[in-house]
Amino acid sequence: MATEDSPRVLRLTFELHVPRGLRVNIRNERRNQAVEALIGAVQGLVSQVFPWADRMTVRHEWSYAWWDETVERPLPPTEKNTPKT
C-alpha cells in the first residue's frame, strides 16, 4: 500500500478535571458553552498549525469518574523494541 493511501490521524486528548471536594454545580448549559468555545478555538487554529487536515472529529464526554485507572506495564526487551546502542 502506498503511503498516500494510508489513513493518517493526529489524535490529541485533553481531560479537564474538577478537583475533588470542590462544591460546584456545573450545569449542562454552562458545560456545553465551554465545550463549544473550546471546539471553536481549536477549529480556528487547525488550518494554521495542521493545514493538511480536511476534517475534525470531536468527542464530548461528561462523566463521574468514580474509578479511573491507567496502568503502563513495561514489556521485556526484544530485538524489535530495543534501540541499538
Q: What is the pLDDT of residues 39-81, one digit of tens each?
A: 999 999 999 999 999 999 999 999 988 888 889 898 888 888 8
Q: Taking every pair of C-alpha atoms in the chain, what is the biggest distance, in angstroms?
A: 55
- Signed CA dihedral, 47, 52, 56, 59: sign only: negative
Please give the pLDDT value at position 24: 87
Please give the pLDDT value at position 4: 72
The answer to whether 54 touches 40, Cβ cutoff 8 Å, is no
pLDDT digits (tens, 9 = 90+) for 25-41: 999 999 999 999 999 99
Q: First and final CA of the chain: distance in angstroms?
A: 31
Percentage of the residues of the chain whose pLDDT score is greater than 90:
54
